[in-house]
Amino acid sequence: KPVTVVQSIGTEVIGTLRPDYRDRIRLFENGSLLLSDLQLADEGTYEVEISITDDTFTGEKTINLTVDVPISRPQVLVASTTVLELSEAFTLNCSHENGTKPSYTWLKDGKPLLNDSRMLLSPDHKVLTITRVLMEDDDLYSCVVENPISEGRSLPIKITVYRRSSLYIILSTGGIFLLVTLVTVCACWKPSKKSGKKRKLEKQSSLEYMDQNDDRLKPE
């Protein structure tokens, strides 16, 4: 349902203004309306009706008012600025505190990203995910956020990609093999309780045998 903002004769307001418009409205002789200190709630369609006398309607006009909040400076957020080559995925998030109706653009070395099947964007383009990271992804990344009244660009962030060399893979595999070998050897060297009991019985039998020999050698 339409809400009456103001009624006037010339520049004189008729009746009482709504509280949310008080001290924010100014009228001009030509029928223009100035609305100051815009708020998001002011967005919408406004209609003006003009009449020469109380009973004679002469015309009407509508206008759409769009209210936007300027974009604050964005920044690129990452879990880490380093990544290993051939990693499954690496994510960059374009974050900003203020701004309505934002649109996002990602830049690599200051230039818009080229079409690449490895570069995945979220539906709103706010999040960039690089899949199967390659050495060529080592670069500067930034994002641009725009809306109808403003634009903000983040500082570039350097993403460093470390090469996953064949030596690294060999050493990693060798380390696992060595660990398994040590565990196996330790398991083989661990004495069992049964063996301990057997040695104890053998020692006891030997002592008894020696005692018997001593008794035989004693003179009667």
The residue behind tokens 């992804």 is 137
Query: Does residue 199 have a pLDDT over 70?
Result: no
CATH number listed for the domain at residues 7-65: 2.60.40.10
Q: Are 120 and 128 in contact (CB under 8 A)?
A: yes
Q: Which tens digit of pLDDT belongs to each residue from 130-157? A: 999 999 999 999 999 999 999 999 999 9
- Does the global pTM surpass 0.95? no
- Closest to 157 measured CA to CA, from 97, 85, 98, 107: 107
Q: Which fold has domain 75-162?
A: Immunoglobulin-like (2.60.40)
CA distance to 2, 30, 180, 196, per residue, from 191 (Å): 91, 105, 19, 8
Q: Which tens digit of pLDDT belongs to each residue from 154-167? A: 999 999 999 987 55
**Which has the minimum average pLDDT: 42-56, 102-116, 179-193?**
179-193
Query: Does residue 204 have a pLDDT over 90?
Result: no
Going by pLDDT thresholds of 50, 70 and 90, the confidence category of residue 217 is very low
**What's the rounded Cα separation, in Å, for the pair 152 and 144?**
6
Going by pLDDT thresholds of 50, 70 and 90, the confidence category of residue 9 is confident
Same fold yes or no, 7-65 and 75-162: yes
Identity of the amino acid at 25: I
Query: What confidence score (pLDDT) does residue 181 get?
Result: 52
Query: What confidence score (pLDDT) does residue 211 get?
Result: 52
Which helix (DSSP H) or strand (DSSP E) does residue 211 occupy?
A: helix 193-217
Mean pLDDT computed over 35-51: 92
Identity of the amino acid at 147: N
Tell me whether residue 146 is exposed, middle or buried, using C-beta atoms within 10 angstroms of its C-beta: 0 to 12, 13 to 18, 19 or more: middle
Q: Which tens digit of pLDDT belongs to each residue from 64-97? A: 999 999 999 999 999 999 999 999 999 999 999 9
For the chain, the structural domain boundaries read 7-65, 75-162, 166-214
Please give the mean pLDDT across all residues of the chain. 82
Question: Which comes out higher in pLDDT, residue 120 or 192?
Answer: 120
